[in-house]
Amino acid sequence: MKSYLKVLSTFFLAGALVACGGNQETNQAPANNAGSADANKPTYSFRLAETHPADYPTTLGDKKFAELVSEKSGGRIKIDVFPSAQLGEEKAAIEQVQLGAIEFVRVSSGALAGFNKDYGVFSLPYIFDSQDHMWSFLNGADGQKLLESLESSKMKGLSYFDPGSRSFYTKDPVTSLEDLKGKKIRVIQNEVNVDIMNALGVSATPMAYGEVFSALQTGVIDGAENNYPSYFSSRHYEVAKHYLVDQHQRVPEVLLISSATWNKLSPEDQQIIKDAAMEAVPYQIEEWNKYEKESEEKVVAAGSVVTKVEDLKPWQEAVKPVIDKYRPDYGHILDAIDKARK
Ligand code: GTR
């Protein structure tokens, strides 16, 4: 009886996976492999969820990753990238990945913080001085170890992508910390973000990315915060024209796979996926740098008023209690981040 139930539940689980459109495993080799050494290896068709549009630099990184996986596996492992949140907003996509219903996702570590406490560290303000500083930490032993820590949350981190730096933007003119006080600002849903906004005297309004445009338009919020590429591609600049550059966060983008999927793969296929994810990174950074510059130029050309914060000290002072609050949780990582400063 017991084994009957086991067979039955395995059958339903497999059915559910196929019904979701992903993870169709067969033992048939693709036509171009017939007769080759790969002939007896399984083939897979996986899905990768991405919140940004098709031409956005994280999506280009996802596509490069998929291309490399296909190349390295002789076409056995196919990954379809679904841009523009077609498979759901980030929080929902992560939940699906935890269940194994979606195999891959590229998300912000800001969103991951709601699922894995370690990832909250990246939402802490002003911890990275520059893009180079961030990459020197991410590429080091502690940065790479953090990718592995996702395994306790039923996911496996494969690589980081460049996230740029986040700054504020509002509907009304804002050129200083004083102006920002009392404003309702949308943030990615996590506890650290709410604490930062409280410390700055701002009213934090967590909500899904896809809802921000209409919330700005209807005045539910006064502003939001993001990097230039997101500010541009989401068209938020059309409804919130004042961009205040304080670069409070660099929240790494993460490419990850469901543990349910990872654990089914052979060591050879796991290696292919890990290598492809790492090899896609330099390309993603290059695309990021290009798009970041272009989006800054385009929003300015469209009439956005950009103010650069000259003196960050009052901002850093204001959020110091937030760093102090989280130091007991993230002390070791914060030390490693300090050390990665060149
Ligand atoms: C972007 C990030 C997205 C999403 C978005 C947001 O910078 O690339 O993954 O997290 O921010 O603010 O929700």
Instruction: Tell me the per-residue pLDDT of 66-106, one tens digit each, with 9 for 90 and over.
Output: 999 999 999 999 999 999 999 999 999 999 999 999 999 99
Q: b/e map of 223-251 (b: 16 or more CB within 10 Å)?
A: bbbbbbbbbbbbebbebbbbbbbbbbbbb
| Residue spans per domain, the chain | 2-163+251-293, 166-250+298-331
pLDDT bin (cut points 50, 70, 90) of residue 12 is very low
CB 88 within 8 A of CB 50: no
Sort 142 into a burial class: Cβ within 10 Å, 0-12 / 13-18 / 19+.
Answer: middle
State how far the Cα of 219 lies from the Cα of 260, in Å rounded to an integer. Answer: 42
Around 98, how many Cα atoms within 13 Å sit in the side-chain half-sphere? 14
Average pLDDT, the chain: 92
> What is the rounded average pLDDT of the residues 208-220?
98
Instruction: Indicate the CATH number for domain 166-250+298-331.
Output: 3.40.190.170
Contacts of 169 (CB under 8 A, 6+ apart): 223, 224, 225, 226, 231, 236, 237, 240, 241, 242, 243, 244, 304
Closest C-alpha to ligand 1, atom 9: 108
**How far, in Å, from the CA of 44 to the mean position of ligand 1?**
29
pTM for this predicted structure: 0.91
Give me ligand 1 centre to Cα 220, in Å: 19
Quickly count: other Cβ atoms within 10 Å of residue 263's Cβ.
13
pLDDT at 34: 45
Domain 2-163+251-293 classification at class level: alpha beta
Of residues 32 and 342, more confidence is placed in 342
Pocket lined around ligand 1, Cβ cut-off 6 Å: 51, 58, 90, 107-108, 110-111, 163, 188, 209, 226-227, 230, 253
pLDDT tens digits along 113-138? 999 999 999 999 999 999 999 999 99
pLDDT at 160: 98
The protein residue with its alpha carbon nearest to ligand 1, atom 10, reads 108
